[in-house]
Amino acid sequence: MTDHPFAIFSPFRNALHVQLLTKEDRVHTDGEIARALAVPTVASLRQVHGNRVVRVSEPTSRTVEADGMIMDARGLTLAIRAADCQNFVIYAPKKNVGGVLHAGWRCLNAGTIAAFYELLQKEWGIQPQDTYVGAGPSLGKECAEFSDPRRELPSAPPDLIDGRYADLIETSERQFDVLGVPRTQRERINACTTCHPETYWTYRGGDREKVLDGWTNVLACRLL
């Protein structure tokens, strides 16, 4: 487990605790995730590769269908699972509101990042420029191969498609740009999950059956 994997959240450590679980942690169930994070319970989702984002105030156990969740409740741990898909912790320090987001390529097509910020605005009046973003390890552009990316990835700008490969990371970065989140308020763990199967669970990099069975990396956050 890695505590505080993002330097960008360092000024807020008295209010926000971020943790990353990878292959060495070998967590499968929510109970195992909670034990690894040293918390009683976690809030988790039944992730469906869409654009639904929900507000949560208590632990859930993969019963709510969504790909993002946001809270203002102190002491509650949010856990998002990923094994190549992009994954984010997003924090608004002025309001002490935090959330996690799963953003695979289907989620990017569906506009899940914009949906996250729509809920921030609706529920708390938070503007994108007042947030900080930490992105966990995910699929790098050298491994993001598709059958027909121009057809499959309408969300990807044409200049980010090279033959059968697409830069999903920069696609998401530009979506944050459009929303108005400054790049100086974003940080990413620049490790391709598929290129590092010894460290990360990776659907494309050899762990397909294990991932389908529920073994994933986990990005979690808790308000203190």
For the chain, list residues with pLDDT below 50: none
With a threshold of 0.75, does the pTM exceed it? yes
Percent of the chain with pLDDT over 90: 99
End-to-end Cα spacing for the chain = 19
Range list of β-strands (E), 93-131: 97-103
Domains in the chain: boundaries: 2-223
Q: Which of 3.60.140.10, 3.40.50.300, 3.40.50.12280, 3.90.1150.10 would CATH assign to domain 2-223?
A: 3.60.140.10
Cβ-contact 136, 191 below 8 angstroms: no
The residue type found at 14 is N
Give tens-digit pLDDT for 81-126: 999 999 999 999 999 999 999 999 999 999 999 999 999 999 999 9
222 contacts: CB under 8 Å, gap ≥ 6: 16, 17, 39, 75, 76, 77, 78
The residue type found at 98 is G
Q: DSSP state, 110?
A: H
Rounded Cα distance between 146 and 130, Å, is: 35
pLDDT at 61: 85
> Any bridge partners for residue 150, and if so which?
none
